[in-house]
Each structure stands twice: as C-alpha cells, then as structure tokens.
Amino acid sequence: MFTGIITAIGRVASVSEAGAVRRIRIEASYDPGTIALGASIACSGPCLTVVAVGGRADGCWFEVDAAAETLARTTAGAWRPGTRLNLERSLKLGDELGGHIVTGHIDGVAEILSRDAITGGDDPWGPSARFDVRAPRSLAALIAEKGSVALDGASLTVNGVNGDAFSVLIIPHTLAVTTWGERQPGDCLNLEVDLMARYAARLAEARRAGY
C-alpha cells in the first residue's frame, strides 16, 4: 500500500529478458540496508517486488521482475536504460498518509494531451504546470472533478473533467522532485483510479446484473 508521495527518483540501469519476464535493475538513493528481498516498491506507479538488492557509491541498486501482465498494462514495457522513474516505498504502520490510498495496481495507460505553464506573478519557486490528460475510455467514468488519481505513482487532484480528458495542476515542488518536470505532450502515464471509485463501479455493475 502506498500514498502517492514520491520519495526518490530512480534510474533504470539495465533491462534483461528471461522468457516472459523482464528483469529491471534500478539505481536509487535509498540505503540498501533498508530494502529487504521481497519488499514492494512502486516504480512510476506499478507495485513491483524486489528480487535482488545491493549497494553503490551514492545509494543502492535493486532489481524487480515485470511479468507479461505488467508489461501489457503499464509503461514498463517501454522502460530502457536511462529511463527515470518515480519511486515510493510501501507504507509502514504509523506513517503519515500524505496523499491518498494507492495500491500500485495500474488500471490503464493515459496520454498527456497538453502542458501549459501557469505563472504565479511573483512566485519565487517558478511556474506551475497544467496538464490535460486523456484516460482510456473504459476508465473515464471513474475519474471525478476534485477526486484523486495516481499518475506515474504521484497522487494528484483532478481539476476538471471533459469526456475522457481531465486536467491536473502540478506545483513547482512536484515538478522539481518527480519526473513530472520532464513530461511533455504525447508521453504515456501509468494511471490508477481512486480505489473507492473502482469499488463503487463494481458494486453498481453487480447490482445491475442482479447479484
């Protein structure tokens, strides 16, 4: 379980194939002594299991396996050496829930339609950015104005909805400490809809079917 608050940016160091599984080595600033084999780390959204870990000069490396389902339903299939990823360690009891409840189970891939800088007058931290994003049509009804979504692992508030498109506003701090600073129109994003919306939709579907 996660909150969508990014704690580090990782970098893909290598990608190797082993049948239907792709093993991905990621370099990060985490202390390797705090990462156990079998731990869960959200890597730009998808919750992936650590299968190997080691130290390096300025942090650690860890390896995760991405199976066929993950490769098909997320952007992980496009990760290459040098790809930068938003990272979040799994929650511990007593941790602050700063974003919203995020499972790391990706619902689909969204696409950035536009990026517009929003200047704040004398804002010393620089401009914010408004992104318009298109969701898969099957997920559009689960995204609500002022609701929450996780995009590439980051917890964000939906500013507005128009059909299958919606907008989010990214503040200067988030642009600086996540991969959002480099996102541009045409980029694909891992989308996880709000957990409550997912279950509400399933309940309504079951009632229509007479369950």
Q: Quick check: is 105 catalytic? A: yes
Alpha carbon distance 177, 128 (integer Å): 13
Q: Which of 20, 52, 67, 141 is catalytic?
A: 67
Q: Which of 47, 60, 110, 197 is catalytic?
A: 47
Place of tokens 């959002």: 180
Q: Is the dihedral of CA 6, 192, 39, 77 positive or negative?
A: negative
Q: 62: left (phi > 0), else alpha (psi -120 to 50), else beta?
A: beta
Q: Which of 7, 40, 90, 103 is catalytic?
A: 40
Q: Quick check: is 40 catalytic? A: yes
Residue 192 CB neighbour total at 10 angstroms: 29
Q: Quick check: is 67 catalytic? A: yes
H helical segments located in 32-152: 68-73
Q: Quick check: is 166 catalytic? A: no
Q: Which of 29, 157, 173, 206 is catalytic?
A: 157
- Asked if residues 9 and 87 have their Cβ atoms less than 8 Å apart, the reply is yes
Residue among 1, 96, 15, 135 at smallest CA distance from 63: 15
Q: Which of 7, 13, 39, 49 is catalytic?
A: 49
Q: Quick check: is 47 catalytic? A: yes
Q: Quick check: is 49 catalytic? A: yes
Alpha carbon distance 30, 11 (integer Å): 12
Place of tokens 């996880």: 192
Q: What residues act catalytically?
A: 2, 40, 47, 49, 67, 105, 157
